[in-house]
Structure 1
Amino acid sequence: MLTRIFATSKPLNFLWVSLYLLLIFALDWFYTCNRGYDIWAILEFLSMSGLLIFSILLVDFIVRKNELSKKNSFVVVAYSFLLAMIPISKLELTGVVAHVLVLMAIRRIISLQSLKSVKKKLYDATFWIAIAALAWYGAGGILLLVFVGVLLFDASDYRNWLVPFFAVLTVGIIYLAGFWVINDQLPQYFQLQDWNFDLSEFKSMQTAWPAAYLLALSAVVVPAYWLGFRKIMLIRKKRQLFIVFAAIVAWLVAFGVQPAQTQSLIFLMFPLGVALANLTERNQQRPITEILLWAFLLLPFAARTVI
């Protein structure tokens, strides 16, 4: 049933996954959230939910535009199911905004494969990530993907390696100028701080279980995704290699942001969703695919009843 529904791409599929996410988010908010139920808390919930649903449309656009999947809704479904694994009570509005901005940057990086307007795309991608880092500092690590994009798609022109630095400089100047105008002074927190490896947030089952599940899934799905393209010439599978690097960078950010936060896992959703959907497409045994889809659908609910 689910295989038949999502094996095609229809607008109605977006409605199903959107309602599914809203249901999961509502359960999280009303049963596990400690932010209260005043008007500002409700607006925060609606804003985060709206942005995450918008990110589904953005993911679908990226996949279609760059042919990362066949004409179906499996990536959208996988992305939505993975998002549902993260309790919304552990997300922040700034982090969700950063995630959407990072997706916009990834859209520009993957499109480098066309070798058209390379420098403009690199500038745009870096600009979005720099803005995302201002919204939530952990997004700054995603800048690694810009250089991965240069390495994979057009490393021969040395100027491509310099463009990201100019984009970061532009955002930095705009930020400092705006801060000066508003506060009549420059920010005073530019100082080195001790870096301590702290995973204390993952001591509770509510956060440890999703993190362990996503880590195990990544260890299986991402290598299998890459091995599935081993017969294709390297020049033709750069997009797939970028997805692998995107998953690796997402985990580096997840462990690099200290103290560790469940929020940082959100950057893993896109590359892992693409890899998971690709394995679903390649599986020609429909009963197995159907069972897997139902398992991913019900797993977030099962996890919440256990924890």
Structure 2
Amino acid sequence: MIANFFSKSKPVHVFNLVILLFLYYIVASVISFPEEFLWLYFIKKAAFFLCFIIFLVVTNFIIKRNNLTLDNLYGLLIIVLLFGTFKETMFNNKILFSNLLLLFSYRKIYSIKSGLNISKKLFDAAFWVGVATIIYPHSILYVFLIFIAIIIYQKIYFKNFIIPFIGLIIPIFLFFTYNFYYDKMDAFYSIFKLNLGLDFTVYNQMQFLIPITLLITITMWSLVVVSPKIVLVSNNLRMSWNILINQLIVASVVVFIAPLKDGSELFFLLFPCAIITANFLQKSQSSNFKNLILYLFFVISISVYFL
């Protein structure tokens, strides 16, 4: 059964997830295949798929290093299933690269709890947010997650509130210098144009309405069930859980105001929703219930192609 198979984090199981993601990627790519045969199309697709492998590897590292789940692959599995469900997330290069860079920021944010090299971690976290902002301007909202982490991890010192601003500004300043030198200031100004996209009509389509409803329902259900139990456990896990909830809030805001609503913006929700749901599954004592939830995600990821 699928729940038992991914109940242990083993390299062979990670490889199986990569194969599953590859199948989703191939199917989605074939659907969007250009009428004219182009080798460049295949080369670009192969290169971008490598980015998704890196995304999975870094995500798995963050989960294991910070004990965001137990020793299982439920979180990674749900992320792959959500990629398959929202195929548009695999073809917006700006959002892909932005989320990949934000992973490096998450890595630093969650590791603040160790109390080691706090200044460096705050700088690095903000730096990666700054680079992600250059690619996808709405990523700048994740700088708030850094300040939230400072408060949650109780590292409330004046310099800790200043360092993230420095880390955020440096890549933006370098980008400004480059564009100023080559007289491309319009590109620089564009990162400050946080256009709001409040047209949600695309979500009325069944291919979005059903899976989004499922994702929201299970994520909220997981929060209600798991949060009270987290409060009773170790302080480190409780603080990481609070960071995760705030990450979900920031991601929801980014999705809500995204200028283009085509499904690709849901990429920002994958990490927090998957980890929250994974914690819910691992605390369930019923294997049948775990399988039901995971198979439901799997069936939805297939059925969206027929809606």
Give the TM-score, by structure 2 length.
Answer: 0.89
Residue type of the alignment partner of 1:187: D
* Other-structure match for 1:199: 200
* Other-structure match for 2:131: 131
Pairwise CA distance, 1:233: 6.1
Pairwise CA distance, 1:168: 1.8
Equivalent residues in 2 for 1:1-307 (5 A)? 1-32=1-32, 38-88=38-88, 91-181=91-181, 183-184=182-183, 186-187=185-186, 189=189, 195=196, 197-232=198-233, 237-305=238-306, 307=307
Residue type of the alignment partner of 2:303: A
1:145-192: CA deviations, max 9, x gaps? 1111112113421211111111122112110111233x2353374676
Residue type of the alignment partner of 1:288: F
Pairwise CA distance, 1:137: 2.1
Q: 1:87 to 1:236 in 2, by over 3 A?
A: closer
1:234-272: CA deviations, max 9, x gaps? 565100111111111111110022243422211111111
Cα distance in 2 between the residues matched to 1:175 and 1:244: 32
Aligned residues: 305
1:251-296: CA deviations, max 9, x gaps? 1110022243422211111111111111111111122222322222
SS state at 1:260 partner: coil
Residue type of the alignment partner of 2:227: W
Give the TM-score, by structure 1 length.
Answer: 0.89
Which deviates more, 138-147 or 290-299? 290-299
Cα distance in 2 between the residues matched to 1:179 and 1:49: 30
Q: Identity over the aligned pairs, expressed in percent?
A: 18
Q: 1:200 to 1:3 in 2, by over 3 A?
A: closer
Pairwise CA distance, 1:46: 2.1
Which deviates more, 279-288 or 98-107? 279-288
Asked if the contact 1:9/1:73 (under 8 Å) is kept, the reply is yes
Q: 1:68 to 1:208 in 2, by over 3 A?
A: same
Cα distance in 2 between the residues matched to 1:298 and 1:152: 38
Structure 1 unaligned regions, length at least 5: none
Cα distance in 2 between the residues matched to 1:19 and 1:212: 27
Which deviates more, 154-163 or 39-48? 39-48
